[in-house]
Amino acid sequence: MKALAFASLVVVASIPAAPAVAQTAHHAAVTSAAVTLHQDMRKLWTDHVVWTRQYIVAAIGDQPDAQAAANRLMKNQEDIGAAVATFYGKPAGDKLTGLLKEHISIAVDLIKAAKAGDKASQQQADAKWHRNGEAIAAFLSGANPNWPRATLVEMMNTHLSTTTDEVVARLTKNWDADVRAFDTVYAHILTMSDALSDGIVKQFPGKF
């Protein structure tokens, strides 16, 4: 009888309390949602730099797929805006899409000027590009207090400078530098993507 009672106590003790089970399940769901967000954002921003590179290669090489790459790149800006709209609403998503499309349009002008050897136009495009980057940073920091404006400006400037390195290396046919430049571009955009995802998770804890 004592043995039976002892066995019953062991079984009961081995069953987790209901609140603990619920808490564990909630934590798993939270972690899963945050991981999914990070993965989705990384995919979007990877597309951003991959299709930018595809356009750079095609445009500088006078390849017939340049316009198709440009069209796909513009679609990526719509995709990023739609992802942001999920948290901040359609008007905010549309605003970001517009700023990002401007970002791409300026890049196209910069590449054209650089390819033509037009230093003055290239410098003008570069200055406009950085102003646009500051506008993107200001817009994002205004939407989320976890995205400091100064940090985003620095990230955008790094994105622009590393992309410029990629263009220059391609133009000068320095293929090793071209490869290194893209590696730098890609590593940086993943860091930027993760920073944006982290900010969303902090701002909307109820969704994660």
Identify the structural domains of the chain with CATH numbers, from first to last: 35-207 (1.20.120)
Q: Specify the higher pLDDT residue, 123 or 3.
A: 123
Whether 70 and 42 have beta carbons less than 8 Å apart is answered as no
* Stated pTM of the model: 0.84
pLDDT (average), residues 91-95: 98
Write the pLDDT tens digit of every residue in 1-12.
444 343 443 333
Write the pLDDT tens digit of every residue in 181-205.
999 999 999 999 999 999 999 999 9
Whether 72 and 49 have beta carbons less than 8 Å apart is answered as no
Q: Considering only CA atoms, which of 33, 19, 39 is closest in space to residue 207?
A: 33
pLDDT (average), residues 71-100: 98
Q: Quick one: tokens of 145? A: 């207090």
Q: Quick one: tokens of 197? A: 């995802």
Write the pLDDT tens digit of every residue in 11-53.
333 444 444 434 444 444 457 999 999 999 999 999 999 999 9
